[in-house]
Amino acid sequence: MVSTPAGAVPEVHLSGVTKRFRNAALALENISLTIERGEFVTFLGPSGCGVAKMLDLVGLSHVGERYPRQLSGGMKMRVSIARALVSRPRILLLDEPFAALDEMTRDRLNEELLRLYAEQKWTVLFVTHSVAEAVFLSSRIIILAPHPGRVAHDVRVDLPWPRTAEMRESSAFENMVTQASRLLRGVYKS
């Protein structure tokens, strides 16, 4: 995780952002948020070429000649991450990239993503519906309230880095998952 010096310019700053769809449905309302360079921020809420180097970076150089139909679900997700990395981004935007995977593959890819995050020093904006995934990956979790989406809670995840598979079994991790789950359930009541 990268620490930002005091007074540094934020990587992303949103002020009063609202999104209304053409059918007039209000999706987001008055979102104000500052994200510092190097933060891994996850948005958690209800539903409402250069490929060879990048394949090597995500551990898939051995399948570079295969067709997509010959890859497992996990490999396809890693290829999609490699595609995103081709342009060498400072900010990585990921919208539920592991949602369709089984839990073991998802956990393994979470660990791989954090390895790349530490290596590449990105700022990451990650969307998921999995509280445990949000806690494992993030330095902060933004919990959105529904209808319209708005920031209900901004939660700092004070778990040690690097995050490891063993951390998922710790009481600190479980407590953080419980806390985030309670806050998420609470947005439905308000």
User: Bigger pLDDT: 134 or 17?
Assistant: 134
Query: What are the backbone dihedrals phi and psi of residue 156, each rounded to the nearest 5 degrees, phi first?
Result: -80, 130
pLDDT tier at 9 (50, 70, 90 boundaries)?
Answer: confident
* Full set of structural domains in the chain with CATH: 12-49+86-189 (3.40.50.300)
Asked whether residue 190 carries a pLDDT value surpassing 70, the answer given is no
> Which range among 62-66, 73-77, 131-135 has the greatest average pLDDT?
131-135
| Interval 135-156 mean pLDDT | 92
Q: Are strands 12-20 and 26-35 parallel, antiparallel or unpaired?
A: antiparallel
Mean of pLDDT over the chain: 83
Asked whether residue 58 carries a pLDDT value surpassing 90, the answer given is no
Q: How much is the pLDDT for 156? A: 96
| Interval 178-184 mean pLDDT | 96
Q: Which residues of 24-51 are buried (b: 16+ CB within 10 A; e: fewer)?
A: eeeebbebebebbbbbbbbbbbeeeeee
Which tens digits make up the pLDDT trace of 105-134? Answer: 889 889 989 998 998 888 999 999 999 999
